[in-house]
Homo-oligomer: A and B are copies of this chain.
């Protein structure tokens, strides 16, 4: 267990050749792009999240359950999970920076949770507080589809593990483990496992197994995965696929239903597989599903889950940019799943997908101030858009369902642990970021330094102060978007001891590329999305003078000027000459192609993640390129 204390959210899987590096082995440069995000997360997002737990009544729900106060419950019944995710975020930040600023918060929360937790381990401010205000009493475990109790336990377990690993503090772990032990006992008594409509606990239980060595948790997670897809959760108006209960995992070749549920489940499946506790058929299905999900159901920003109705994946290629639900948590969940895929089978595409989501859909979800958030991340805001909480024109400080903000916080606080992995022979760098990486002892000694302004610039300078043992290599992911850069067949460029000691430079050409979509993505037919390196760009109304951003037309051969530092985030903006049209359509569905009169316009594009940081207004990622 002492070894495991050194890891981040994911400890090595027994059945895998590849492993995460220990926590602290990667130190992101606080002046670099990702490192600065971690700093901002610590300084602004975390204190904000803690304040919002108070403001939103989330902590009050727990106090109410403790004190038996006849006040109303506030917010969603699964809001305890927001407390747990915030605790997990705080834990990783303590591990990263050694801050003591949050100790008081943690002391209060742990004491509160201990006071609410029943002797048998059960803990839920919702069911335990039900009936206090005269409403109906809700029995524990009475609503597996919608009750979210195991979902909350899962986040509690992840927080408990995090705090023990990162701060050497096991009080929250004790609370968490008691909930897991309750589920183990219930399994023994009932002969079948509990199952939750919202997967999350599966991956948490595997991590608890890794952390404690108690195989009962792994067995429970494996049983939960195996139970899924047999109608176990019973009928529901949203259909069994909403809960991924429509088909066994081995047959789930298509991502479907509620996106976050599907993607958290998949992370759990990978974790069970990583411990050698799942059949090959699960791995095959996951590999196939990963491919179709990322080829047919992923937005260019890395976002997933297009439908508002049930927060679900749409059909293949159903990717409307305007009504994109594109929940922040779905991108984070996909990142977690994909990272586990990468541990099982380290391929460039996995790192590419993580990079795409991180720099676009996840990053768009938080303001440059670090204190305002998107829950839904559309790729097009129409002129005259009527704003709603989940169809926003601007980020808001918190949400009625506040799953996303603390999810961002916990991800960013642990971002360093996603940068690199190691096998018996190799250190592999997946996320390109300025920072230092300690060489794992079995591969050599010393520190690899990466200097770069990435993603503003494509030059990466690597230098090793230390040595690699003979035969060991450092592999650096060469992104799929990078043209003409030397790489091995698997998309990595490899360096040996001598080269790294001298210092090597990788230069990724940061051309502005107009990207197309598959022709079946009807909603963006004939349009392009501008990208530069890993960044997707968008056009905001604030940058188009005299015309609606809806009426901008781009030429396929347009030349772009790169304007360093000019976007709200400090990343480069792009500028080009384009045209805007005045459209004359006399009837809704004319027999002739609508006549467009074109006028020249100067077009400035900013990184998609930067949108909505200035005056709210229409925005487009996909811009029409008229042909002919």
Residues in chain A within 8 A of chain B (CB atoms): 136, 237, 239, 241, 254, 256, 294-296, 298, 300, 307-309, 314-318, 320-323, 380, 382-386, 388, 400, 480-481, 513-520, 522-527, 529, 531, 550, 581, 583, 585, 587-594, 596, 622, 624, 627-628
B315 & A385 in contact (Cβ 8 Å cutoff):
yes
Bound together, the chains give a CA A169 to CA B314 distance in angstroms of 50
A383 & B316 in contact (Cβ 8 Å cutoff):
yes
Known: A316-B384, A318-B322, A525-B624. A520 touches B550 (CB 8 A): yes
Among A136, A525, A624, find the residue whose CB has the most chain B CB atoms closer than 10 A: A525
B523 & A583 in contact (Cβ 8 Å cutoff):
no
Bound together, the chains give a CA A588 to CA B304 distance in angstroms of 13
A519 & B581 in contact (Cβ 8 Å cutoff):
yes
Bound together, the chains give a CA A531 to CA B589 distance in angstroms of 10
Minimum CB–CB distance from A513 to chain B (whole Å) comes to 5
B300 & A589 in contact (Cβ 8 Å cutoff):
yes
Q: Is the interface of A mostly helix, strand, loop or mixed?
A: loop
Known: A517-B589, A628-B628. A320 touches B323 (CB 8 A): yes
Minimum CB–CB distance from A359 to chain B (whole Å) comes to 14
Q: Which residue of B lies closest to A296 (CB)?
A: B588
B314 & A323 in contact (Cβ 8 Å cutoff):
yes
CB-CB under 8 A from A296, the residues of chain B are 588
The 10 A-B residue pairs with the shortest CB-CB distance, nearest first, are: A308-B309, A628-B628, A315-B382, A515-B589, A627-B628, A523-B523, A526-B526, A513-B591, A300-B589, A627-B627
Q: Which residue of B lies closest to A241 (CB)?
A: B386
Minimum CB–CB distance from A618 to chain B (whole Å) comes to 10
B588 & A518 in contact (Cβ 8 Å cutoff):
yes
How many copies of the shown chain assemble into the complex? 2
B519 & A522 in contact (Cβ 8 Å cutoff):
no
What are 22 A-B contacts with C-beta separation under 8 Å?
A136-B136, A241-B386, A294-B588, A295-B588, A300-B589, A307-B323, A308-B309, A315-B322, A318-B322, A320-B522, A320-B523, A322-B522, A480-B587, A514-B591, A515-B590, A516-B593, A519-B581, A519-B585, A522-B527, A525-B526, A529-B589, A627-B627
B591 & A515 in contact (Cβ 8 Å cutoff):
yes
Minimum CB–CB distance from A578 to chain B (whole Å) comes to 15
Bound together, the chains give a CA A400 to CA B522 distance in angstroms of 31
CB-CB under 8 A from A592, the residues of chain B are 516
Bound together, the chains give a CA A622 to CA B585 distance in angstroms of 18
A382 & B587 in contact (Cβ 8 Å cutoff):
no
Minimum CB–CB distance from A555 to chain B (whole Å) comes to 13
CB-CB under 8 A from A136, the residues of chain B are 136
Task: Select which of B239, B308, B320, B382 is within 8 A of A317 by beta carbon.
Answer: B382
Bound together, the chains give a CA A318 to CA B210 distance in angstroms of 49
Minimum CB–CB distance from A560 to chain B (whole Å) comes to 14
CB-CB under 8 A from A382, the residues of chain B are 315-318, 520
Minimum CB–CB distance from A492 to chain B (whole Å) comes to 18
Minimum CB–CB distance from A534 to chain B (whole Å) comes to 12
Q: Which residue of B lies closest to A246 (CB)?
A: B386
Task: Select which of B517, B519, B591 is within 8 A of A596 by beta carbon.
Answer: B519
Minimum CB–CB distance from A586 to chain B (whole Å) comes to 10
